[in-house]
Structure 1
Amino acid sequence: MASNHPAPEVLDWLTANGWTPGRDIGEHAEKLVEVRVRDAERQGVALLPSPVAVRVIHAYGLLRFPHPKADESWVMKPTVGYEGDAALIAELAAGLGTSLFPVGYEESERGLILVDKSGRWFHLHHTGGYFMGDDEYDAFSRFLSGAEAQDAEDYFV
């Protein structure tokens, strides 16, 4: 469920890991976006960042968010990927009927964290695509609670 504010436990976790309200990595975010766009072009795919994805990178870029009880972390670095990932992102986006742009990755298995133009979060894992949340606060809350991710196909148009 989308929210304009993080739940207290999410806010505590975010701030414990370096985030502050109003955080903005400025021009560094723009450079990260540019690197990712160019890499997708090199792979023959156009990945266009939505304003929401760019805002997420500005706010959370380069932070590492470890799960407090599991050996799992989200790293908010959109430039990490693998050969052929742009085509897989585009394929998932087509199924969802929207654009997707990477904002980070899941550290243990290098699954990509993606944001669509409405702000929803998805995970592109080697086993498929998964819905992570309606916005960053929902995704962070689900991550912390250990909620099972939903199959992204449930959101296909």
Structure 2
Amino acid sequence: MTTITPSPEVREWLSRNGWSSGRDIGAEAEELVRIRLRDAERQGERLTPVDAAVRIIREYGGLRLAHPRVTDLVMEMDPTGGYDGDAAAILELTANLGKQLFPVGYESREYGLILVDEIGRFFHLHHTGAYFWGSGEYEAFAFFLGREDALDAEDFFV
């Protein structure tokens, strides 16, 4: 179930890291999406910018959400981060989930991509596999802060 409002801990953490309710980076979000699409095309692939991911980019794009207890662990809310071959990996996960995915950022420790699918679920594409982080941003942020074991994305394959 998607959490509609952030917990007090998540809200305070977001605020400390530059977020405020109603934040919208507008045209900058559109440019970040265009950059990511061009990079996927450079890799010979075509990504689809789903509405749920674009909404996340508009609201959280450009933020560096530092973990309060783990040094050098940050959610970089920048969809342009990635690596050669990541578009193919995103499309493979898309096919397995049966839902379009689009990157909204990455985590700074091991550079795993943070992806959002068309229904707003968050996934982490890591070199060890793909993992489910939550249904909606508040669950994903709470997961990041709690650092509990993630579910395998395979549990959500069609």
Does the pair score TM above 0.5? yes
User: Separation in 2 of the partners of 1:80 and 1:14?
Assistant: 21
Map 1:76-115 to 2 at 5 A.
Answer: 76-115=77-116
Letter in 1 for 2:14: L
Map 1:34-49 to 2 at 5 A.
Answer: 34-49=34-49
Structure 2 match to 1:140: 141
CA deviations on 1:35-85 (whole Å, 9 max, x unpaired) are 001111111111011111000000000101111111311100000110000
Structure 1 residue 4: deviation in Å?
A: 1.4
Q: Secondary structure at the match of 2:123?
A: strand
User: Separation in 1 of the partners of 2:151 and 2:70?
Assistant: 19
Letter in 2 for 1:52: A
Q: Secondary structure at the match of 1:74?
A: strand
Structure 1 match to 2:52: 52
CA deviations on 1:66-107 (whole Å, 9 max, x unpaired) are 111113111000001100000000001110011000000000
Q: Secondary structure at the match of 2:75?
A: strand
Letter in 1 for 2:10: V
List runs of 5+ in structure 2 lacking aligned partners: none
User: Separation in 1 of the partners of 2:26 and 2:121?
Assistant: 23
Q: Secondary structure at the match of 1:143?
A: helix
Structure 1 residue 125: deviation in Å?
A: 0.4
List runs of 5+ in structure 1 lacking aligned partners: none
User: Separation in 1 of the partners of 2:82 and 2:146?
Assistant: 26
Letter in 1 for 2:47: L
Structure 2 match to 1:73: 74
Corresponding residue pairs, total:
157
User: Separation in 1 of the partners of 2:126 and 2:119?
Assistant: 21
User: Separation in 2 of the partners of 1:156 and 1:120?
Assistant: 13
Identity, in percent, stands at 59
CA deviations on 1:102-126 (whole Å, 9 max, x unpaired) are 0000001111000000000000001
Ranges of 4+ aligned residues in structure 1 off by more than 4 Å? none
Structure 1 residue 132: deviation in Å?
A: 0.6
User: Separation in 1 of the partners of 2:144 and 2:86?
Assistant: 23
> Normalising by structure 1, what TM-score?
0.98
User: Separation in 2 of the partners of 1:66 and 1:149?
Assistant: 19
